[in-house]
């Protein structure tokens, strides 16, 4: 019975992340447009874009290999599995016992590796630039992410996201400077990983500044739809990790009734809306930085992560 319940929660979660991810992106776009005094596209525009792309034919470059065609599905699959591992509205997911937060980082790293290869595959110079910049960003963002994971895992005594969420809800956490640093570092990493504004501009096709868009320039049709959906899911995934680790209130634990699950869903929707709003405000308020400044930005994130881990050893023993 318990396994059936956990399986059910897992299935709901799998569909939920897929359904909500375009909505979150649509919300951020809408809010950003409103903040600069525009009308903005409707909230459901990302769904329409995906539907349109799925209907269209694929145009393949002559030099494209099998890797180019397989990459969108691999990227989407790994990102989706990673998103299914984060407790969003309920803890106790079936997959959650098989994979911890380090596995999530590894899955995202695999997706990025495949994407960079696909960017190089066709042999255009933009794809190459995009891939090399993506790798430069990743080489700093991934260690920073792992340091944040270590900080939280050392505190909670576990790398399972469900246990971390349970620990964070308990009274033993207190006020910790390490957690504040880890939160700032995680937000910086999330901004870089999702190609948001200080690092990359998600709305532009201006060649000299783009990173993510440069890699997927050659994609079209259903391939592009898969990659776009994967990037929507990735944004949702990072928001969910931040919400799950630093604001785990309202997450239903297995064994509670239907009402708890519904409350968890409502709390999750509220957290998503709040994070989307904050992201839109932040992106409107700040300017994009030069590509060569990105290493400073992410170096600061890495430094915060290392500092957070180091300061843990001085703090009181929980």
Partner 1 sequence: MIAPLALDIAHLFAGGLVLVSFMLLYQDRMTGLINTFALHALVVSLSVAWQAYIQHAPHLYITAAIALGIKAMVIPIALHRIIVRLGIHRTIEPVVGIGLTMLAGIGLIALSIMVMLPITAQAGTLAREDLSFALSVILLGLLMMISRRNAVSQVIGFLSIENGLILAATGAKGMPLVVEISVAFSILVALIVIGIFLFRIRERFETVDIHRLHEHRGEQP
Give the whole-angstrom CA distance, residue 209 versus residue 287: 13
Q: How far apart are CA 119 and CA 129, in angstroms?
A: 9
CB of 166 or CB of 303, closer to partner 1: 303
Q: Does 136 bind partner 1 (CB under 8 A)?
A: no
Q: Is 313 in the site for partner 1 (CB under 8 A)?
A: yes
Instruction: State in angstroms the smallest separation of the CB of 192 from partner 1.
Output: 16
Give the shortest CB-88-to-partner 1 separation in angstroms. Answer: 29
Torsional sign, CA 195, 201, 205, 209: negative
> Which is it for the CA torsion 175, 179, 184, 187, positive or negative?
negative
CB 318 to partner 1: min, Å: 9
Q: Name the residue nearer to partner 1 (CB basis): 17 or 302.
A: 302
Q: Counting contacts by CB under 8 A, is residue 27 touching partner 1?
A: no
Among 157, 170, 270, 299, binds partner 1 (CB under 8 A): 299
Query: What are 252's strand-pairing partners?
Result: 90
Q: How far is CA 265 from CA 33, 107, 113, 124, 249, in A?
A: 27, 25, 33, 44, 11
Q: According to the binding rule CB under 8 A, does residue 78 interact with partner 1?
A: no
- Closest contact distance (angstroms) between CB of 156 and partner 1 is 16
Beta bridge partners of 90: 252
Residue 163-192 contact track with partner 1, rule CB under 8 A, x = bound: -----------xxxxx-xx-----------
Burial (Cβ within 10 Å: 0-12, 13-18, ≥19) of residue 112: buried
Does 295 engage in binding with partner 1 (CB under 8 A)?
Answer: yes
Given the rule CB under 8 A, which residues bind partner 1? 174-178, 180-181, 295-296, 299-300, 303-304, 306-307, 310-311, 313-316
């Amino acid at each position: 019975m318990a396994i059936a319940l956990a399986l059910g929660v897992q299935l709901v979660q799998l569909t939920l992340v897929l359904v909500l991810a375009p909505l979150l992106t649509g919300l951020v776009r809408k809010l950003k447009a409103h903040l600069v005094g525009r009308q903005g596209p409707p909230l459901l525009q990302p769904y329409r874009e995906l539907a349109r792309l799925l209907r269209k034919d694929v145009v393949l470059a002559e030099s494209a290999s099998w890797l180019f065609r397989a990459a969108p599905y691999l990227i989407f699959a790994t990102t989706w599995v990673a998103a299914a591992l984060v407790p969003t509205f309920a803890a106790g997911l079936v997959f959650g016992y098989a994979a911890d937060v380090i596995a999530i980082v590894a899955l995202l790293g695999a997706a990025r590796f495949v994407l960079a290869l696909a960017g190089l595959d066709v042999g255009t110079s933009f794809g190459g630039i995009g891939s090399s910049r993506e790798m430069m960003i990743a080489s700093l963002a991934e260690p920073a992410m792992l340091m944040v994971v270590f900080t939280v895992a050392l505190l909670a005594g576990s790398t399972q996201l469900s246990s971390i969420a349970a620990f964070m809800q308990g009274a033993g956490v207190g006020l910790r400077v390490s957690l504040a640093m880890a939160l700032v570092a995680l937000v910086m990493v999330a901004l870089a990983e999702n190609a948001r504004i200080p690092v990359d501009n998600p709305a532009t096709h201006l060649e000299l500044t783009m990173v993510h868009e440069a890699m997927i320039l050659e994609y079209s049709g259903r391939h592009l739809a898969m990659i776009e959906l994967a990037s929507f899911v990735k944004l949702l995934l990072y928001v969910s990790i931040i919400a799950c680790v630093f604001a785990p209130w309202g997450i239903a634990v297995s064994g509670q009734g239907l009402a708890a699950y519904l409350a968890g869903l409502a709390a999750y929707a509220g957290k998503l809306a709040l994070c989307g709003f904050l992201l839109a405000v932040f992106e409107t308020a700040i300017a994009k930085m030069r590509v060569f400044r990105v290493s400073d930005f992410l170096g600061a994130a890495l430094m915060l992560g290392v500092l957070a881990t180091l300061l843990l050893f001085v703090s009181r023993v929980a």
